Amino acid sequence: MKKILNISFVYFILAMVGGVFYREFTKILGFNGKTTLAYVHVHLLVLGTFLFLIIALFCRDSELLDNRRFQQFLIVYNVSLPLMVCMLLIRGILQATEFEVTNAMNGMIAGIAGISHIFLAISLWMLFSSLKQVFVNENN
């Protein structure tokens, strides 16, 4: 459970840094438009901090941490979420600096973000599957 709480705390720190970065970066540039930097804070807070706090509650009285599929979830999720956040940061920095993005660059950013979303979905399926395995086994 300590591992899960540590992961949650790391995402909390990153969420706070992401929020401050968004506010200060756009203020320094004098940028008043919309940018994806605004979503970094929320994504890290909800998909990182809160999700792992909820998972910690499930770990308390179960064998979830020992489940093989849950271990796979941890790896895939903790690669996918930071990758998605990096794409939000890259896109947001390009928007705030009003950098001219080529079609190839735009497609590459969108593609990598899409792949990260696909792996997030797969990892969440792994989480649900592991929760089902653990709680069905406990009730039998």
Summarised one tens digit per residue, pLDDT across range 25-59 is 999 999 999 999 999 999 999 999 999 999 998 88
Summarised one tens digit per residue, pLDDT across range 98-134 is 999 999 999 999 999 999 999 999 999 999 999 998 8
Q: What b-and-e string marks burial along 50-69, b requiring 16 or more CB atoms within 10 Å of the CB?
A: ebbbebbebbeebebbebeb
How many residues belong to the chain? 140
Cα 9 from Cα 53, distance rounded (Å): 9
Higher-pLDDT residue of 10, 136: 10
Whether pLDDT at 95 is above 70: yes
Residue 12 host element (H or E): helix 2-29
For the entire predicted model, the pTM comes to: 0.92
